[in-house]
Structure 1
Amino acid sequence: MSDRLSRGKLGEDITADYLCKNDFEIVARNYHSRYGEIDIIAKNSEFIAFVEVKARNEKALERPAAAVTSAKRRKIIQTALIFLSEFEYDLQPRFDVCEITIDNRTDVLIELNYIENAFDTEGFL
């Protein structure tokens, strides 16, 4: 497994732990559709959150969330629509991004920045 893939998996594990500690239940991880993948789908009593995890090392030049481009947001939204057509939830959908910064040498978490409502469907539907 490449460093990028192992850092991504570690970032997803850290994010899943964070969500569980904040009263969310993990519904799915790495949910695939023909449009793409959603890293984590989680729910609480009010929301179903579609979470994109971006993990970087501490030497990255830009914020991890900057990698969630318009094209990536479109794929996440399309995949979320497919998920919601397959599984019925009476919850408000929300698109979140979790920025994870990891020490390159030790794989220790340096920073977790969880962005609720990082984007919405405006302009995509």
Structure 2
Amino acid sequence: MKEKLIGRFGEGAAADYLRKKRYRIIGMNYSCRFGEIDLIAETKDCVVFVEVKSRRDAHFAQAREFVTAAKQRRLTATAGLWLAQNPTDKQPRFDVVEVYCENGIVHSIQHIENAF
């Protein structure tokens, strides 16, 4: 699978995974001038901004290691704009979901809550 296809496949797998954990997906691929948020979900108490990292394996590095400080700043700014457009009383939270997959098969999913 090409990198972009792996990314989209991983986002779908992450959304399915979160739904099974009783998250409600309220947005996918929200983008603005600051950047893009892969998934936006709700729990009872939080609005969760999710960065999905999809990889074939973790031989080089774990997927979460690719969420750099600069990427975190872009995600925070993007989430701030989304919150300005969609006011809520819920607490914002930033999670990372790692999806390891190959040839359309998910091998593992790791969910890191409050990642940053």
Q: Per the shorter chain, which TM-score range? A: over 0.9
Distance between the aligned counterparts of 1:60 and 1:53, measured in 2?
18
* Residue in 1 that maps onto 2:53: 54
Alignment CA distance shift 1:59-1:69 (3 Å): closer
Which structure has more RCO (C-alpha within 8 Å, separation ≥ 6)? 2
Please tell me whether residue 3 in structure 1 is matched to residue 6 in structure 2.
no
TM-score by length of 1: 0.89
State the Cα distance separating 1:60 from its structure 2 match.
Answer: 4.2
Corresponding residue pairs, total: 116
Distance between the aligned counterparts of 1:102 and 1:11, measured in 2?
8
Alignment CA distance shift 1:7-1:60 (3 Å): farther
State the Cα distance separating 1:30 from its structure 2 match.
Answer: 0.4
Identity of aligned residues (%): 39
* Residue in 2 that maps onto 1:68: 67
State the Cα distance separating 1:107 from its structure 2 match.
Answer: 2.1
Alignment CA distance shift 1:69-1:45 (3 Å): same
State the Cα distance separating 1:48 from its structure 2 match.
Answer: 0.5
Q: What runs of 5+ residues in structure 1 fail to find an aligned partner?
A: 120-125
Please tell me whether residue 39 in structure 1 is matched to residue 32 in structure 2.
no
State the Cα distance separating 1:59 from its structure 2 match.
Answer: 5.9
Amino acid at match of 1:112: I
TM-score by length of 2: 0.96
Distance between the aligned counterparts of 2:33 and 2:8, measured in 1?
21
RMSD of aligned alpha carbons: 1.1
**Worse-superposed segment, 70-79 or 20-29:** 20-29
Q: What runs of 5+ residues in structure 2 fail to find an aligned partner?
A: none
